[in-house]
Structure 1
Amino acid sequence: MEGPAPKPYNLPADAVWFITGCSSGIGQALAHHIATTFPSQRVVATARNPTSLSAPEIPNGPNVLKLALDVASPPSIDAAFDEALARFGRVDVVVNNAGYSLMGDAEASPAGNADARTMLDTNFWGAVDVMKRALSIFRDTNPQTGQVGGVIINVSSMGGILGSPGSAYYHASKFALEGFAESAAKELKPEWGIHVCNVEPGGVQTRYATSSLKLLEPRHPAYAGGATDAMLGFIGNREAHKVFARPESVAVAVCEIVGGGGGEGRRRRIPMRVPLGSDAYGLIRQKIERQLQDMEEFKELSCSMGDPKLDHVTNLVG
């Protein structure tokens, strides 16, 4: 049975942030924002290629540690966390940001598609392995320093709630991450003080459509002129991206979720999910409303089987 939620989180003044995928985009913006706005806080900025973590995008200084980290490699994850602990003694906030996208026709992908599996190793399994190490640090290591618990922020996407054409494998990775995070969060004892949140940005002005986008090839001829082509056209239209959120805005929002803007002393209830962007909020709400309509339409069929008194199941699932 699911226990009570942990108490609201109080971000310490000297919080240690551990951020994956800092070579560009949201990760880079978040590391920069913390290092330049909250000088008493510490930042562990990581990327597969540490040469991409250069100043001024990510400033140098005694409170900034730049590390190589390939989230698809468990030994690399352990090495990065070990170095962070050796430098700062604890980790308070872990931001799972590393990832990329893969677009194309789902049917066209060959059996055992290597590109899709590699993307899932990064977007899903990499994030899972980072979460597992973070949980152990929050529970077992942090209390030794006098700081209880911590926060895991998974940078998911509105694509972790709703699917769009041409991105079946990307959406699968984000749906899987959100399901894993929700289930794992319900396993945690409230006295551990551990919080898990999936942030779900909509369109963001990052490298999503360029270096962070891979294409499933060859394309399936039957889908020519269809919905995937339309989506690829939109993704490739740089003019259309001008209405997207800036990575800096997402960085500020993450700090607001964790600590009321990043400052000390403001206790925050950290929710399981937060859409970021009016597009994400609107489209996710629209999907939920459609789901409710479908549920009401088929309610009689849905409830026509099993024992209607399922309180014990409800209490277990939460």
Structure 2
Amino acid sequence: MSRLDINRSGEMDVFTRVVELGGFSMAARAFQMTPSAVSKLVARLEARLGVRLINRSTRKLQLTPEGTAFYERALRILDEIAAAEREAAVGATPTGLLRVNTSVPFGLHRLLPLLPDFAKRYPDIKVEVTLTDLVVDLLEQRADVAIRIGVMRESRLLARKLGESRMVVVASPAYLAERGMPATPDDLARHNLLDFGFAKWKGGWPFTMHDGETITVLPSGNALVSDGEAMHQIALAGMGLARLARFHVEADIVAGRLVPVLEDFNPGDIEPIHAVFVGHGGQLPARVRAFLDYLVERVRI
């Protein structure tokens, strides 16, 4: 087989994705290939190099020392290829499909209203938006950008901060007229505290008492919801107290549809908002870079 018959960058791309996703099946979904095709591609690569790159077992894949060295060098080479292509396309209009994953509140109240203007600025970019409050794997979901609300955990993902929002407990005037305005966090025992139904959600509501002590109240209401916008809607409907990001309910507070509760005990905790994305060495497709720059420019929290 001649050198011209070998797609070396394609082999490297598939191999690095196998490593990053932890298996042939996940990489196959990312490339819309079959797991057997991905496995054979890696096997051909190993045969051509004359070394084993990955030790395979029924549970997981493990890189050999040669595989680790090849993976690190392959990342650098792919970065150089991306940089060369980008330099060759300087001045080109950003184009292509842009997949964005965002929380429901941010999507409804911040992102979707901006899309018409973004489309006018970049008419050759097609945007596919998925709204969910679940944290998704960008590589598995083949998303270019995800909006994450909350403290960023350590990750190989890159991030650009879009803003931050203070948390606030709110209720509708109708609910407070019926159940009364709580004067201290102790009064919450007599109120309906709305909660999220995430499998891994174990959050409580923090309050700072007048003596400086911070306490946490666990919600124990009669409703569990899947996302922040559902919480927002049932709070507006008068079902109970909700704790949400201020940007999410600011318009309702100004209009009198929701009322802040226990602000004297609000600890002032902040939820940062980031756009996260995958990038080797900061190299990004033009469509992704254009979208990130646009968000930083236009998002107001």
Instruction: State the TM-score, normalizing by the size of structure 2.
Output: 0.25
* Structure with the larger strand share: 2
* Structure with the larger helix share: 1
Instruction: State the TM-score, normalizing by the size of structure 1.
Output: 0.24
Structure of larger gyration radius: 2
